[in-house]
Chain A
């Protein structure tokens, strides 16, 4: 019954509209939690790197790995090729390690948990049971979960504060825990794959991350296992002047499958904050990984003050034949976004997909896109990018498609659409295409359009107000990407589209 399905979607889109109306505050995750924190001293040097390593009780090889990264980083220059413009970052004026004091010992019951921490989770919309588990309450795992299961790992400033559904996942053989725990429990696995997709030397921010990453998530799906639930990591920057450098490592062994979701928020602050994450995904033969992100870091205020500087390196390596990866991202937050989730299509017949919505409003700047590196035969990639600019924002799609000599009969299709709201914003498309064999084909389509006055009036004449109309038109423009998201995320994303465009018309 096609029509019924359509109405299910109806409900969602109505919520979009309601969200615009009910959310009085433009950035609803802008609250700050007043929790006692433990900080490392400000600034970055070898001692800080050692301290982070020591706090996590890391083995010698990891400390050496970090130090090597640090020594390389001090030699590097910050890249300036992206179409983003921001005041120079003083890397010595940041904290590189912060964690809630209450996390030093695991609480026995909810009463012992810092209520502020619980409050934060509640405001973020995380259900109570999950709140308890994330707060580390003993026995919370035994409470039955309501509704559909999603395992959550929460990273609060520098540390992972808890992971849910660990036992149930363990039964299926799935390892899902913070990377700091994985270093303790599965050192061989971590050592084998860490840095194997994004090497220490990859780029300025990845190198920095390698030196100072404090926590993040680790996932291992064994051969032939379909992960029984969706996995998700919730990143939250709370502490002031603190950079967040999380590191995620996902390994999907032969024939396995997993869908992974990542959400991010941060408090409103006048001073910009740094976020430099690395995500590495290893995909073996016939394995299939979907990685979805709804990035809603604080974008700064209407005048462009504050916000998160988001410099992220995400890469998936399809190591085996027929390996598949799909990146889906909804980027609505951050003052500056510098992010190119990439696919290395090494195995024959491997496939990479990239679906992206990047919304910039006010003074936000986004330079984002993907890289599809075709190395194996018959490899396929598909890129669908929807950039939306409003206010005085600048939105750049930057994408690289490479067909290596051995990547015979490979295909890429790129669709890159930009939508402008108002006449003070900008959209830019920068495709790089390199084809080094005769049998491969690359197709690139790009469009730029404006939210059309005729469409707007049509909606208004039917009784919608301007914000409803823009939300409807923009959600329509981005539909292909919204449809690629898991259901719950799609709802969240539609609301975000509406909220992030508030004040863009009229």
Chain B
């Protein structure tokens, strides 16, 4: 279970609060979606939950299976099972994609007291997962995200997610920049990871992703908090009418 309780967070450099009392509970195996206008704080929520420097938590908790993630450093949160598919995945020149993946997988295994994967085991696993996402050997060899197209970067995020097998996945606009086929691949990748226990929080602006990844719950976020929660129909409503009516409701 993933819980965000009354989370308030500000920028470290400026006296500006971005998250203003956010609440969210995602049960095991559930898929929730968050939609909301640009600048409403969706990415910020994902950064604060995963421990990115530059933000100060003013109040609240983020719990994964009862453990307060806010007390852990970012690597510990990852090892505890939190994964963030970035809205803008960064490039790391000179570092092979495989090297990066293997270092990450083994770092987490080590942190959890598990045996590290040897080269052969790792290779077998990565090939299998890469194949289903149509990521070829060349992309695995190239430096992390360097020269990848927007869609390739997003597929690469899903590959990392598949390799790391997290408990809680936050996907920040993984659908933006994807063509129709890539959208299907990514959705299939996500659906393949749905096992009744793993939970997902999908941040998106578009209903069409939710046709592929069917959410149990849809939240609307505005100005640093959740202003409305409902079923999949809420996404359709936003798609047709925009946010104006919803914003007026709360105002």
Candidates B50, B95, B106; contact of A476 at CB < 8 Å? B95
B86 CB within 8 Å of chain A: yes
Candidates A14, A459, A461; contact of B50 at CB < 8 Å? A461
A113 CB within 8 Å of chain B: no
B119 CB within 8 Å of chain A: yes
A2 CB within 8 Å of chain B: yes
* B-side contacts of A14, CB under 8 Å: 102-103, 106, 116
* B-side contacts of A434, CB under 8 Å: none
Q: Is the CB of A461 within 8 A of B78?
A: yes
* B-side contacts of A461, CB under 8 Å: 50-52, 74, 77-78, 83-84, 86
Q: Give a binary string over A1-30; 1 marks a CB under 8 Å from any B CB, 0 the rest.
A: 011101111110110010000000000000
| Cα distance, A453 to B140, chains bound together (Å) | 24
B contacts with A: majority SS: helix
* B-side contacts of A171, CB under 8 Å: none
| Cα distance, A457 to B53, chains bound together (Å) | 8
| Cα distance, A453 to B120, chains bound together (Å) | 32
B36 CB within 8 Å of chain A: no
Residues of B in contact with A, size category: 35 or more
Q: Give the residues from 435 to 466 in chain A that come closer than 8 angstroms, CB to CB, to chain B.
A: 452-455, 457-466
B99 CB within 8 Å of chain A: yes
Stretch at the interface among A119-127, A332-340, A467-475: A467-475
Q: Is the CB of B102 within 8 A of A463?
A: no
Q: Give a binary string over B55-87; 1 marks a CB under 8 Å from any A CB, 0 the rest.
A: 000000000000000000111011100011010
A393 CB within 8 Å of chain B: no
* Nearest CB in chain B: distance from A249 CB, A: 36
* A-side contacts of B12, CB under 8 Å: none
B39 CB within 8 Å of chain A: no
* A-side contacts of B107, CB under 8 Å: 17, 462-465, 468
> What residues of chain A have their CB less than 8 Å away from a CB belonging to chain B?
2-4, 6-11, 13-14, 17, 452-455, 457-466, 468, 472-473, 475-480
> What residues of chain B have their CB less than 8 Å away from a CB belonging to chain A?
50-54, 73-75, 77-79, 83-84, 86, 89-96, 98-100, 102-108, 111, 116, 119-120, 122-123, 127, 137-138, 140-141, 143, 160, 164
* Given pairs A458-B89, A460-B78, 10 additional interface contacts (CB within 8 A): A2-B137, A4-B123, A7-B123, A10-B98, A14-B103, A453-B53, A454-B90, A462-B107, A464-B103, A472-B100
What are the 10 A-B residue pairs with the smallest beta carbon separation, nearest first? A476-B94, A476-B95, A479-B94, A462-B104, A463-B108, A463-B78, A460-B74, A463-B107, A7-B119, A464-B107
